[in-house]
């Protein structure tokens, strides 16, 4: 496992961060708690020392699973969680008001069984709440010893710059994959200049970039692959098959998986400190962890880029 300095913090985190949205059991076709706990413990054994979660994942269930899984583990594991996203049934709304933020953090501490959260992140922007109010409350939580570092999630360059004008936030969690390269326009270079750690989520394009689907699958309307990731829909699906074919060829030549190629591609950018990859079982974990054991060559990166531009323009 490779490790990287996390922005301007004192944390050295694994380049693979264990994503745990699936552990919540609500948006990815369900999850088995025993299997989730086994995944966490095996990930730590493989050198993964960074776990990302949120109160919104299964209404806190993901955090409870992580808290249970880490009982008795002596290795230092950095926990990143989030705040400011309220889910009530089908209602999802951002709430970064000071009161809600504090409630989220204190709830996370209890569920995780920890005295301190290593990294707290504003889950999504909240246009109703002044950012200075949100960050001011988080700063209080740092002074109280309940939080070590403050980060943001899904903040574009403008909001990230605004946040930096209030407090020295250390990270921004953004979606980044061969299917979603929006942050290349300004966030990546800006983050390098400012010393901000980028946590890249969605590197496998909701599963499409694993290459495991020969035919377009169908998921329930409540599944994240139908709601959050749109890559299974036409006309994107047909185009995606060509790019996946390129990854398949490189993977076959290297005797690795297409998923490893996709993750390796994300990690190839200097701004990306850690790549958040979710998994529901030990087999998927094995693939994710193996993606750090080698590096794409410049020629392979250029081949992928050439295919991407040919397909997507």
Point out the residues that are catalytic.
Answer: 57
Residues 138 and 101 sit within 8 Å (Cβ to Cβ): yes
Q: Per the structure block, which two tokens stand in for 80?
A: 């990143």
Q: Are 174 and 201 in contact (CB under 8 A)?
A: yes
Q: Measured between alpha carbons, how far is residue 176 from residues 30, 66, 67, 173 in Å?
A: 25, 25, 28, 9
DSSP single-letter state for residue 177 = B
For residue 235, whether the previous peptide bond is cis, meaning omega lies within 30 degrees of 0, is yes
Q: Are 269 and 305 in contact (CB under 8 A)?
A: no
Sign of the torsion angle spanned by Cα atoms 7, 11, 14, 16: negative
For tokens 């992928």, name the residue: 304
Please state the length of the chain. Answer: 313
| Gap between the Cα atoms of 274 and 11, Å rounded | 12
Q: Tell me how far apart the alpha carbons of residues 6 and 199 are, in angstroms, rounded to a whole number.
A: 9
Let me know if 225 is exposed, middle or buried by CB neighbors in 10 A (0-12, 13-18, 19+): buried
Please answer whether residues 83 and 120 qualify as being in contact, where contact means their C-beta atoms are separated by less than 8 angstroms: yes
């Amino acid at each position: 496992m490779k490790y990287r300095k996390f922005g301007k913090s004192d944390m050295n985190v694994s380049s693979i961060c264990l994503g745990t949205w699936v552990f919540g059991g609500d948006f990815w076709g369900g999850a088995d708690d025993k299997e989730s706990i086994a995944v966490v413990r095996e990930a730590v054994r493989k050198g993964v020392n960074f776990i990302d979660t949120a109160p919104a994942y299964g209404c806190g269930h993901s955090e409870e699973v992580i808290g249970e899984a880490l009982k008795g583990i002596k290795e230092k594991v950095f926990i990143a969680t989030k705040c400011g996203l309220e889910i009530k049934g089908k209602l999802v709304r951002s709430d970064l008001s000071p009161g809600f933020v504090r409630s989220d953090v204190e709830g996370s501490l209890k569920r995780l069984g920890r005295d301190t959260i290593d990294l707290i992140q504003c889950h999504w922007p909240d246009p109703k709440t002044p950012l200075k109010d949100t960050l001011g409350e988080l700063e209080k939580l740092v002074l109280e010893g309940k939080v070590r570092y403050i980060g943001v999630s899904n903040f574009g360059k403008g909001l990230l710059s605004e946040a930096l004008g209030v407090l020295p936030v250390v990270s921004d969690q953004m979606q980044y994959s061969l299917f979603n390269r929006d942050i290349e326009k300004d966030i990546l270079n800006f983050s390098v200049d400012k010393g901000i750690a980028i946590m890249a989520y969605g590197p496998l394009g909701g599963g499409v970039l694993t290459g495991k689907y020969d035919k377009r699958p169908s998921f329930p309307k409540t599944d994240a692959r139908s709601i959050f990731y749109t890559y299974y829909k036409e006309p994107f699906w047909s185009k995606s098959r060509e790019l996946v074919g390129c990854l398949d060829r490189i993977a076959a030549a290297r005797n690795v998986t297409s998923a490893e190629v996709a993750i390796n591609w994300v990690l190839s950018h200097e701004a990306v400190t850690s790549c958040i990859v979710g998994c529901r079982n030990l087999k998927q974990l094995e693939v994710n962890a193996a993606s750090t054991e080698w590096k794409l060559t410049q020629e392979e990166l250029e081949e992928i880029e050439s295919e991407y531009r040919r397909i997507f323009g």
